[in-house]
């Protein structure tokens, strides 16, 4: 009977332990810039280069363009990610009006046109096309910074496209 109670207790507690791959989490921080200006509200994601190594982690940039990675491990959030080689992607969508010169036919008299899309080239949103990489080492990893360049990939709202 005691054996049954012991197994029953283990069975109840097992889901609470979460899934941990046993990798140590290392603090990661950096700055994201687009054409020299810091980028607020961008989502930065680190994806392991090799499947089965490292841990996918992400963070959002603050008003100074600073991101701090967070990974979900064992059911809790840890600040950072595991040592290893990573592909990096950055994403930030916009619906803000921008100046288009000349204005598109749908907005002939408008100084600013509402657009949808990304504030920088869409290639940066995919870890396989961004060409951004990072090496996370044991301990604190500060200044893993990235500079994104080029105009955004934006389109007119669907109802205004011809």
- 4, part of any domain: no
Query: What pLDDT score does 117 carry?
Result: 75
- 8, part of any domain: no
Query: What pLDDT score does 116 carry?
Result: 67
- 148, part of any domain: yes
Check: CB of residue 56 under 8 Å from CB of residue 18: no
d(CA 137, CA 77): 19
Query: What pLDDT score does 133 carry?
Result: 98
Query: What pLDDT score does 52 carry?
Result: 83
3-class state of residue 8 by DSSP = helix
- 162, part of any domain: no
Render pLDDT for 66-118 as a digit per residue (tens, 0 to 9): 999 999 766 667 899 999 999 999 999 876 666 555 666 666 666 666 666 78
Domain residues for the domain of 102 are: 18-157
Q: What is the rounded average pLDDT for all residues in the chain?
A: 80
Q: Where is average pLDDT lowest: 16-20, 43-47, 68-72, 120-124?
A: 16-20
> Which phi and psi angles does 57 have, rounded to 5°?
-145, 160
Per-residue confidence band for 160, with pLDDT thresholds at 50, 70 and 90: low
Alpha-carbon distance values, 99 to 3, 23, 35, 112, 129 (Å): 73, 48, 17, 4, 28
Residue with token string 């791959």: 21
d(CA 161, CA 99): 17
Render pLDDT for 8-35 as a digit per residue (tens, 0 to 9): 444 443 343 334 456 899 999 999 999 9
- 37, part of any domain: yes
- 10, part of any domain: no
- 122, part of any domain: yes
Alpha-carbon distance values, 18 to 1, 14, 24, 57 (Å): 28, 8, 15, 17
- 68, part of any domain: yes
Per-residue confidence band for 137, with pLDDT thresholds at 50, 70 and 90: very high
CATH number, position 131:
2.60.40.10
Total domains, the chain: 1
d(CA 32, CA 30): 7
């Amino acid at each position: 009977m005691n054996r049954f109670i012991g197994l029953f207790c283990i069975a109840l507690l097992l889901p609470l332990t979460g899934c941990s791959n046993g990798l140590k989490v290392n603090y990661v921080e950096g700055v994201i810039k687009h054409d020299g200006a810091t980028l607020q509200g961008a989502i930065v994601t680190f994806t392991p280069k090799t499947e089965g190594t490292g841990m996918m982690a992400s963070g959002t940039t603050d008003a100074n363009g600073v991101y701090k990675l967070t990974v979900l491990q064992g059911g809790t959030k840890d600040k950072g990610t595991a040592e290893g080689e990573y592909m990096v992607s950055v994403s930030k969508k916009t619906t803000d009006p921008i100046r288009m010169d000349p204005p598109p036919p749908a907005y002939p008299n408008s100084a600013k046109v509402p657009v949808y899309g990304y504030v920088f080239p869409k290639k940066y949103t995919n870890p396989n096309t961004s060409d951004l990489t990072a090496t996370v080492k044991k301990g604190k990893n500060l200044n893993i910074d990235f500079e994104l360049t080029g105009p955004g990939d934006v389109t007119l709202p669907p109802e205004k496209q011809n």
